[in-house]
Chains A and B, each alone.
Chain A
């Protein structure tokens, strides 16, 4: 104790009650200090506190508390904000639920058939018109450099590649960087990243430039068409952002879903976990990409094509490659 009086380093732990009030206050404070998009989204978090605080009662049960806390988090309109309890996951999914999906998995199955190859989480095949098709549905799937060597080598003689990342909800940014590095011969500025340096809503570091450096291994040299839809989120949004700066790449499909804030995790006294956007990413012009990236060519899936077992986006990409 005497030492503590002499030493300002002594850490005083936060003391939260495991009550509805204590959990509400803990969640509100975690977000208040660590969430990164308050200013960009023009959310007055103090007003949110007043709005929901009056509905908190220490007599409410866990479910009532969960759905009230989730409702509060929905004010942030952020797909990276989730509340995890043993009985449900709080989520905001309007970034894709309110839009056409532009992806039907059984259609891509028609193109892949049963003789496609699969490596590092990527399904790939050479279509009958000598166009390579790659489907990568999850940036969490382990993807090694050797996997990419085999894939690029296999598709090297194709006229072009369709790189389909529709419905890819994200994963590891390192996989995004690794895959993108196979499609550029130059070091390219693709964006910036910031982090919070304090608890204030605008306490951010200086933007740090992000580059994609060309892979020192096999790189693809011809036209690449990246297919996107609204479910391209988080690391996939990051991947699409990087790819659009490469001259050989065209983004085709629908706007991506966004999710540019690198999410962190924390927890409440009752053991529930919360995830939230912590580090904002920007494009190379320092513009926000939290709400998604527009494609170079907007194409929607057409019902007529679906009836004919054709994927409108894949067909458009094939035409684009064949025109060159």
Chain B
């Protein structure tokens, strides 16, 4: 009797392990890239003129499939750091701009074709930044802060050339509603520091805030890491309190990405896992 019970428990445990092993494990995708590019900065709080210059950026991403909606929803964390130095046409003044932006996205995955994935969903997006003009006195800088709900979409496709896979991906995000900070037309930050904060936080939507983040990347797997090359196009425009801001940048990025397990590897067969973007 005792032997029979032990045998039964053995069978159950083997079956349980088998069932567990049959479920592909979702890999966590991480990427880090750095890039340089060209930027143009126009902010009428600081100057009526456009400034052109160079930008430097860093981009961190982590994505993975979740258990939401039968495992069809991916969660994506994006962190962007951008810094630029630009100058007016006559090179008599400089703008320095810095932005840190974070997005938390939940994206539903469609797989219309074998090697193509589509993602669509929403992002909670926040940005903190500044633009500083080297020449101005009491209006030397202006702060940029917003919280947005974004629409975001991704197209991912894998092609193979001579058995070398190339993972192509395009992502675009655009805010649809949120709030943003802006001083009033002629308001000094000194006055704000005194406590005059009425009307500094405005509802933001397409009528006064256009912000697009477009990223086209190709990933080329090597042994342990994957090389990631990207072109990034950023558009940030606001028209609030009679003040216009327009920051456009086009940058090329290079970095690495990696898919990894979040559980001990010994429990998982090497061929039984699933990447987010495939």
Contact = CB atoms under 8 A, between A and B. Distances in A.
A267 B239 CA distance: 20
Interface stretch (A97-105, A149-157, A189-197, A217-225): A189-197
A9 B208 contact: yes
B64 to A, nearest CB: 31
Contact of A267 (B48, B241, B245): B48
Contacts of B133: 265
B210 A264 contact: no
Interface stretch (A11-19, A47-55, A117-125, A249-257): A11-19
B245 A11 contact: yes
Contacts of A205: 184, 187, 196
Contacts of A196: 184-187
Given A264-B136, A266-B47, A267-B49, A195 B184 contact: yes
B239 A11 contact: yes
A7 B136 CA distance: 31
A272 B207 CA distance: 34
A199 B206 CA distance: 23
Contacts of B93: 267, 271, 273
Interface centre among A7, A16, A30 (most CB of B within 10 A): A7
Contact of A279 (B48, B187, B206): B187
Contact of A3 (B89, B184, B210, B242): B210
A36 interface: yes
A205 B198 CA distance: 10
Main secondary structure, interface of B, reads loop
Given A34-B186, A266-B48, A18 B89 contact: yes
A199 B237 contact: no
Interface in A159-212: 173-174, 193, 195-199, 203, 205, 208, 210
Contacts of B206: 6-9
Nearest to B175: A9
B62 interface: no
Contacts of A13: 42, 50, 244, 246
Contacts of A302: none
Contacts of A272: 92
Given A3-B212, A11-B239, A208-B194, A36 B186 contact: yes
Contacts of B89: 18, 269, 271
B255 to A, nearest CB: 28
B115 interface: no
Contacts of B185: 195-199, 203
Interface of B: 42, 47-50, 88-93, 133, 135-139, 184-188, 190-191, 193-196, 206-210, 212, 237-239, 241-242, 244-246
Interface of A: 3, 6-11, 13-14, 16, 18, 26, 29-30, 34, 36, 173-174, 193, 195-199, 203, 205, 208, 210, 262-267, 269-273, 275, 278-279
7 contacts: A7-B207, A11-B245, A13-B244, A196-B186, A203-B185, A265-B138, A279-B186
